Amino acid sequence: MVDSKSQIEHSISQVRKRDGSVSDFNRDKILNAIYRAFSASNKPDKELAIKLSDAVLIKLTEHGFSVNNPPSVESIQDLVESTLIDQGHSDIAKSYILYRHERRKIREEKMKVLNTKKLDSVGKSFDINCLRVLASRYLFRDNKNEIIEKPSELFERVAVLVSISDLIRDNYLFTKDGGMSQNIEEAAEYLKKLDGFSYKFKIGSYYLNKWHFRCLINCYVELAKQGMMKVSFKELLTMLASKKFDAYADRISEYYELMISQDFLPNSPTMMNAGGRLGQLSACFVLGMPDDMQSIMKTTSDAALIFKSGGGVGINYSDLRDEGEIVASTSGVASGPVSFMNIINTVTEVVKQGGKRRGANMGIMEVWHPDIEKFITNKTEPGVLENFNVSVGVWKDFWDVLVNSGDGKYTLRSPKDNSSAGEINAHHLIDLIAQSAWKSAEPGLIFFDNINKYNVFAKARGGPLRATNPCGEQSLYPYESCNLGSINLANLVKRMADGQYEFDWQRYEEIIIKTTRYLDNIIDVNLYPVPEIDVASKESRRIGLGVMGVADLLYKLRIPYNSKEGYDFQLKLAEALTYYSMEESVALAKSRGEFPLCSKTEYPEGKIPVSGYYEKPKEEQYYDWDALIEKIQKYGIRNVLTTTVAPTGTLSMLADCSNGMEPNFALVFEKRVTVGRFFYTNKIFEQVLKENNLYSDELLAKVADNYGSAKGIPEIPDWIQNIFVTAMDIHWSDHLLAQSVWQDWISNAIAKTINMPNDVSVEDVKASYLLAHEMGLKGITVYRDGSRHKQVLHMTGENSVKRFEVKPSDYVVSYISSHIKNEYIKSQINNALAAIKLEDSHKITQTTVEVEKEETLCPTCKNKLIFAEGCSLCIDCGYSGCTSG
- Among left, alpha and beta (phi > 0; psi -120 to 50; other), residue 637 is beta
pLDDT at 571 over 50: yes
Confidence of residue 335 (pLDDT cuts 50, 70, 90): confident
Q: Which long-range contacts (CB under 8 A, 24 or more apart) does 419-425 make?
A: 421/322, 421/370, 422/370, 424/372, 424/373
pLDDT for 850: 36
Pairwise CA distance, residues 469 & 315, whole Å: 8
pLDDT at 331 over 70: no
Q: Where are the beta strands (DSSP E) in 427-500?
A: 444-447, 481-488, 493-495
Pairwise CA distance, residues 763 & 766, whole Å: 5
pLDDT at 797 over 80: no
Q: Of the given ranges (44-58, 545-559, 563-577), which has the lowest mean pLDDT?
A: 44-58
CA-nearest of 140, 147, 148 to 274 is 140
Confidence of residue 838 (pLDDT cuts 50, 70, 90): very low
- Among left, alpha and beta (phi > 0; psi -120 to 50; other), residue 309 is alpha
Report, as an integer, the average pLDDT of 689-693: 92
At residue 455's C-alpha, the angle toward residues 451 and 459, to 5°, is: 135
What would you report as the CA-atom Rg of the chain, rounded to the nearest whole angstrom?
A: 29
* Residue-averaged pLDDT of the chain: 89
Helix, strand counts (H, E) of the chain:
35, 30
Please tell me the number of Cα atoms within 13 Å of 749 on its side-chain side: 34
pLDDT for 148: 96
Q: Are 702 and 734 in contact (CB under 8 A)?
A: no
Q: Which residues pair with 362 in a beta bridge?
A: 314, 389
pLDDT for 844: 36
pLDDT at 846 over 50: no
pLDDT for 348: 85
* Burial of 250 per CB tally in 10 Å (0-12, 13-18, 19+): exposed
Bigger pLDDT: 347 vs 491: 491
Q: Which residues are catalytic?
A: 469, 471, 473
Pairwise CA distance, residues 1 & 347, whole Å: 76
Report, as an integer, the average pLDDT of 774-781: 97
pLDDT for 394: 98
What is the secondary structure of 565-579 as a DSSP string? HHHHHHHHHHHHHHH
At residue 215's C-alpha, the angle toward residues 211 and 220, to 5°, is: 150
Kind and range of the H or E run holding 177: none
pTM of the predicted protein model: 0.90
CA-nearest of 464, 467, 479 to 287 is 479
Confidence of residue 794 (pLDDT cuts 50, 70, 90): very low
Confidence of residue 261 (pLDDT cuts 50, 70, 90): very high
pLDDT at 519 over 60: yes
pLDDT for 287: 97
Q: Would you say the C-alpha torsion 105, 110, 113, 118 has a positive or negative sign?
A: negative
SS3 for 775-804 is CCCCEEEEEECCCCCCEEEECCCCCCEECC
Q: Are 425 and 401 in contact (CB under 8 A)?
A: no
Name, in order, each residue with C-beta under 8 angstroms of 646's C-beta and a sequence gap of 6 or more.
Answer: 267, 283, 471, 473, 474, 484, 486, 544, 546, 660, 751, 869, 882, 884, 885
pLDDT for 62: 83
Q: Are 310 and 352 in contact (CB under 8 A)?
A: no
Report, as an integer, the average pLDDT of 486-500: 94
Distance of CA 392 to the CA centre of its chain: 24
Q: Which residues pair with 643 in a beta bridge?
A: 545
Q: Are 842 and 802 in contact (CB under 8 A)?
A: yes
Q: What is the dihedral of CA 392, 397, 401, 403, to 10 degrees?
A: 80
pLDDT for 678: 66
Q: Are 280 and 354 in contact (CB under 8 A)?
A: yes
Pairwise CA distance, residues 121 & 757, whole Å: 43
Residue 607: Cβ within 10 Å count: 16
pLDDT for 2: 45
33-47, 199-213, 384-398, 866-880, range with greatest mean pLDDT: 199-213
What is the secondary structure of 36-65 as a DSSP string? HHHHHTT---HHHHHHHHHHHHHHHHHTT-
pLDDT for 862: 66
48-62, 198-212, 643-657, 749-763, range with greatest mean pLDDT: 198-212
Confidence of residue 379 (pLDDT cuts 50, 70, 90): confident
pLDDT for 851: 35
CA-nearest of 370, 373, 362 to 433 is 373
pLDDT at 843 over 70: no
Confidence of residue 12 (pLDDT cuts 50, 70, 90): confident
Report, as an integer, the average pLDDT of 366-371: 97
Tens digits of residue pLDDT in 633-653: 999 999 999 999 999 989 999
Tens digits of residue pLDDT in 88-112: 888 888 878 887 888 889 999 999 9
Pairwise CA distance, residues 158 & 175, whole Å: 26
Domains of the chain, earliest start first: 4-125 (no CATH), 151-260 (no CATH), 284-461 (3.20.70.20), 666-725 (no CATH)
Pairwise CA distance, residues 761 & 434, whole Å: 9
Q: Of the given ranges (291-300, 379-388, 455-464, 614-623), which has the lowest mean pLDDT?
A: 379-388
Q: Of the given ranges (537-541, 624-628, 703-707), which has the lowest mean pLDDT?
A: 703-707
Share of the chain above pLDDT 90, in %: 69
Confidence of residue 405 (pLDDT cuts 50, 70, 90): confident
